[in-house]
Structure 1
Amino acid sequence: MKSLKGQIALVAGGTRGAGRGIAMELGAEGATVYITGRTTQNEPSEYGRPETIEETAELVNDLGGVGIAVQVDHLVPKQVQSLVERIENEHGRLDILVNDIWGSEYFIEDTPVWKHSLEKGLRMLDLAINTHIITSHYALPLLIKNKGGLVVEMTDGTEEYNNNNYRVSLFYDLAKSSVICMAKALAHELSPYECTAISVTPGWMRSEIMLEEFGVTEENWMDATKLEPHFVISETPRFTGRAVTSIAKDLNKNRLNGQSLSSGKLAKMYNFFDVDGSQPDCWRYLVDVQDTGKPANAEGYR
């Protein structure tokens, strides 16, 4: 294992949620982190959320890294190309690419395809899939200039779980499974350059939006279990961040090339913990407890 001091990372989609948690943990390990998104202090996105890329950059700085906020719409190729050119001009290298662009929480509909809003469904696929492809197209030529580069495709669900379960709707299912397939394809294409691509899923994450939905904060999040008992297995975005940084620091990470891994499985592999000292294993919990209809009980799962 090594620190990430001197490493250059791009967290595409680092405004909030997992992206913010990953950027923070990369910063805590000393990396220089470019944080991209559409929401800035002066210009909100269609989300209308208060979190900004500048806030994420400050959090990275506070933890000892170097945070650089750059407004980018990853559906606009010229903006992504300009971003990568800037990284190359300023540092000459890219060591870590995290494709965490999503931006579709408010487009999710738990309904069959013929009832689902076609506009929202297609927008979801654009945001979840095309953004990742565009970003990889421009960023990977820089990443492969040096051996040991890492690409992390962020999704929801492991390959095993998603293959065996219907995920909310056709659009959501397709979006999240496609990212896993993307990581496997990139693993094949990056292999000759001794670089690694994997897909990573958080568990039930206490993102800003999720906490807001339950009317709680990180300080009193357990109150949400009164409404949804299985929320007891939830984790912070920084838990996923620690998963990504553990892989990035691993000198033998290429053994994971093409795999689909969860934050909980990676926590056991690398022996890291969430900010509260726990080690939640959400996807094992879902299979063993929630999906079988058992009462909520996280004992043995965190």
Structure 2
Amino acid sequence: MTTATTPLRGRICLVAGATRGAGRAIAVQLGAAGATVYVTGRTTREKLSEVGRATETIEETAELVTAAGGEGIAVPTDHLEPDQVRALVERIDREQGRLDVLVNDVWGGEHLVTFGKKTWENDLAGGLRMLELGVKTHAITSHLAVPLLIRNPGGLVVEVTDGTAAYNSTHFRENLYYDLTKNAPIRMAFGLAKELEEFGGTAVVVTPGWLRSEQMLAAFGVTEENWRDATERIPDFGVSESPVYVGRAVAALAADPDRHRWTGRSLSSAQLAGEYGFTDADGSRPDAWGFIVASETGKPDVADYR
């Protein structure tokens, strides 16, 4: 393989929250570009997290990274536990001596989200747990991992969320706790961009569109192979995207020597596909957020947004 096909050879990445979905795909695509990728999460082959899915594990993610051409290293980590995150960062420092890319994708709160209820009607414990899983974990991870990242200039922090800054700033995400959880990474990326400036670092926030994660596919009763069957019931599902799409987006960012031009900004997988020229796994370029916005004032054709 050449540097053209493996532009991240020699780079050290940490994908926090890589058990499934966007995190797994990001880790695999970083591996496909040649990177060494530490993948973390709470679900292992020996232990389940509260998500309750035994079908995806961090060990499997690490194996997929290695099979893609990189080196995957699975480290079981609860990112709500500072001592565990500190031990993770110390291990990366000990084994690699550097960290080039930090992807903050920790979440695992889908099972807590309920829509159609007012804040005071929702379960308080569940709402606060969402904030822990999607906000506190990111703050802990950045606090402990960024000092290693800034040891060398050019480090990249990628916060992962749901929704662009433009969309989330004008739309209520129908559950206050979820809304807060998914807006916080946008501000984190903005703030970290300011703090990383003097160290030559870059921080961005990236959102996929309507993501066909493993959990989403299961909820629709389809697989990645026959996902289009679900469009018979919900035609708009036709604008959805596979996790590969956002994985390629982050890998393209990481490989871009001029990526600092994006620092502090909110980016979508579709926007980055247009910039870097990659496609989803099926060769299309879905633009879910463009479709969602267009749907507010008309009835756009799904085909125009793939």
TM-score by length of 1: 0.98
The CA deviation at 1:293 is 5.5
Secondary structure at 1:42's aligned position in 2? coil
Q: Which residue of 2 aligns with 1:120?
A: 126
Alignment counterpart, residue 209 of structure 1, candidates 215, 224, 242: 215
What is the CA–CA distance in structure 2 between the aligned matches of 1:234 and 1:300, rounded to whole Å? 13
Listed one character per residue, the Cα deviations across residues 221-278 of structure 1 (whole Å, up to 9, x for unaligned) are: 0001112110000111110000001110110111100000100001001111011000
Instruction: Quote the residue 2:107 is aligned against.
Output: 102
Which amino acid counterpart does residue 119 of structure 1 have in structure 2?
A
Which residue of 2 is the match for residue 151 of structure 1?
Answer: 157
Deviations 1:109-161 (A, max 9, x none): 11210101000000000000000000001100000011111000000000000
2:279 maps to 273
Q: In structure 1, how many angstroms separate the alpha carbons of the residues matched to 2:174 and 2:12?
A: 36
Q: Distance in 1 between matches of 2:90 and 2:271?
A: 35
Inter-partner Cα distance in structure 2 for 1:300 and 1:216: 23
For residues 259 and 50 of structure 2, what CA distance do their matches in structure 1 show?
A: 37
**1:45 alignment counterpart:** 49
Q: Which moved more, 1:221-230 or 1:77-86?
A: 221-230
SS of aligned partner of 2:184: helix
Is 1:12–2:16 an aligned residue pair? yes
Deviations 1:190-237 (A, max 9, x none): 010000000000000100000000000000000011121100001111
| Aligned partner (choices 67, 71, 82) of residue 77 of structure 1 | 82
Of 129, 135, 141 in structure 1, the residue corresponding to residue 135 of structure 2 is: 129
Distance 1:212 1:109 in 2: 17
Match of 2:179 in 1: 173
Pick one of 74, 82, 95 that aligns with 1:90: 95
Q: Which residue of 2 aligns with 1:58?
A: 63
Kindly provide the amino acid, as one letter, of the partner of residue 94 in structure 1.
Answer: L
Helix, strand or coil at the partner of 1:36:
strand
CA distance in 2 between partners of 1:254 and 1:112 (Å): 40
CA deviation profile, 1:66-100 (whole Å, cap 9, x unmatched): 00000000000000000000000000000000000
Equivalent residues, number: 300
Name the amino acid aligned to 1:65. G
Moved over 6 A (4+): none
Report the alpha carbon displacement of residue 299 of structure 1 after superposing the two structures with TM.
Answer: 2.2
Matches within 5 A, 1:235-254: 235-254=241-260
- The CA distance in 2 between the partners of 1:180 and 1:211, in whole Å, is 26
Is 1:182 the counterpart of 2:188? The answer is yes
Alpha-carbon distance between aligned partners in 1 of 2:83 and 2:219, rounded to the nearest angstrom: 35
What's the counterpart of residue 142 of structure 1? 148
Deviation for aligned residue 1:300: 2.2
* In 2, Cα distance between equivalents of 1:299 and 1:136: 39
Q: 2:234 and 2:109 mapped to 1: Cα distance?
A: 22
The corresponding residue for 1:287 is 293
Q: Give, in whole Å, the separation in 2 of the partners of 1:294 and 1:43.
A: 46
Q: How many angstroms apart in 2 are the aligned matches of 1:293 and 1:214? A: 25
TM-superposed deviation, 1:294: 1.8
Q: 2:201 maps to what in 1? A: 195
Q: Distance in 2 between matches of 1:141 and 1:18?
A: 25
SS in structure 2 of the partner of residue 41 of structure 1? coil
Q: Structure 1 vs Structure 2: percent identity of aligned residues?
A: 58
Where in structure 1 are there 5+ consecutive unaligned residues?
A: none
